[in-house]
């Protein structure tokens, strides 16, 4: 099943991808964000996908980063729920066809 998805924060470019690739990419986005945080070292400057730089050593910067990470987690949860729905639907259709 191929559907059009839009990446939530990285770009507004729309592309075709199946639900399996989208589920993988949503996980990949979270790990990329955490890697960006981990590689900020002592400076604490993190660049968000929008291009905005935030200082995670400040309260407002850490709040912004935390909110961004929560948004990515919610997006991943939505994609995972869609993935489970599609998987269950495919199983039901397969059972109907094999009966």
Q: What is the pLDDT at residue 2?
A: 46
The number of C-alpha atoms within 13 Å of 57 and in the hemisphere containing its C-beta is 6
CA dihedral of 17, 70, 12, 60, whole degrees rounded to 10: -160
State the Cα–Cα distance between residues 37 and 10, nearest whole angstrom: 16
pLDDT, position 15 = 54
3 state DSSP class of 13: coil
What pLDDT is recorded for position 1? 47
Successive 10-residue mean pLDDT values, the chain, 99 residues: 52 63 89 90 87 93 95 95 93 91
Provide the residue count of the chain.
99
Question: Do residues 3 and 17 make contact, with C-beta atoms less than 8 angstroms apart?
Answer: yes
In this structure, how many other beta carbons lie within 10 angstroms of the beta carbon of residue 77?
11
Residues 30 and 99: their CA atoms lie apart, in Å, by: 41
- What pTM does this model have? 0.73
List beta partners, residue 36: none
């Amino acid at each position: 099943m191929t559907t059009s998805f839009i990446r939530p924060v990285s770009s507004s470019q729309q592309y075709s991808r199946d639900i399996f690739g989208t589920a993988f990419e949503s996980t990949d986005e979270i790990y990329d964000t955490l890697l960006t945080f981990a590689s900020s070292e002592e400076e604490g400057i993190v660049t968000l996908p929008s291009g905005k730089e935030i200082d995670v050593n400040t309260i407002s910067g850490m709040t912004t980063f935390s909110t961004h990470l929560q948004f990515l987690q919610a997006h991943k949860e939505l994609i995972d729920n869609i993935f489970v729905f599609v998987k269950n639907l495919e199983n039901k259709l397969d059972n109907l066809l094999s009966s």
